Amino acid sequence: MDELAESEPDVLVLMPCGMDANRAREEFEALENLEEWRRLPAVANGRAYFVDSGAYFSRSGPRLVDGLEQMAQIFHPDMFTETNPEYTIWDE
């Protein structure tokens, strides 16, 4: 956590292996109690995201393109008119 806090991330993309976005969000709920977590710029500004690693990022295949599209939307939301339901945003 110290290393993460020191980096002051503007955006966080969390993709635990073998978990879809909703399950990943559930696993990270304990972080809500950590002051260091809540102070991270990405968390404080609503820019922490959970994605389905197995479906879009860990396996080679056509769905990697879908994963890249998700990342583009996460990092450049102003360029998209619709949100992608395949990822979950951290919201306290």
- The residues spanned by each domain of the chain are 2-89
Q: What is the predicted pLDDT for the residue at 8?
A: 96
pLDDT at 91 over 70: no
Average confidence (pLDDT) over 19-33: 87
pLDDT classification of 83: cutoffs 50, 70, 90: low
Domain 2-89 is found in CATH 3.30.479.30: no
Are 37 and 1 in contact, with CB atoms under 8 Å apart?
Answer: yes
pLDDT recorded at residue 42: 94
pLDDT of res. 88:
66
CB atoms near residue 57 (< 10 Å)? 18
pLDDT of res. 59: 77
Q: How far apart are CA 32 and CA 1, in angstroms?
A: 13
The answer, yes or no, to whether residue 3 has pLDDT greater than 80, is yes
